[in-house]
Amino acid sequence: MRLPVQRAIEVCSVEVAVSVLGGTWKLTLVKHLLGGTLRFGELCRLLPLANTRTLTRQLRELEEDGILIRTVYPQVPPKVEYSLSELGESLAPVVAAMDGWGAAFERSSTAR
């Protein structure tokens, strides 16, 4: 378990969720992976504003926290696929709720 998650456990469950899922692209990565397994290049195309170093770091953190599964195929060039674990799949209702809230916020802020 990553140190930030261990520290968050001492505070409260909301802090644990923020520690695991907080990050510029983590929830967006989970949202895209809810649609199925994706390769790194596919994730990069889905998130064109994200730099590869940040995506790599956040994918590694999500893997370490048990949210996703990284599968490496022994071939040249290397083939790496990312998919959600059972724990990651359990985030579907959370992501859907946040997606809905974000869309409603966007509509209300453009109406002002």
Cα separation of 38 and 32, whole Å?
A: 8
Give the pLDDT confidence score for residue 1 in this predicted structure: 76
DSSP for residue 8: H
CA 82 to the chain's CA centroid: 11
Tens of pLDDT, residue by residue over 49-85, are 999 999 999 999 999 999 999 999 999 888 999 999 9
Write down the pLDDT at residue 6.
Answer: 85
Percentage of the chain beyond pLDDT 70 is 99
**Amino acid 31: pLDDT:** 97
- For the chain, the average pLDDT equals 94
* Helix (H) or strand (E) segment spanning residue 9: helix 3-9
Residue 110: per-residue pLDDT: 82
Short-list 84, 70, 108, CA closest to 27: 84
**Please, which residues have CB within 8 angstroms of residue 58's CB and are 6 or more apart in sequence?**
23, 24, 25, 26, 29
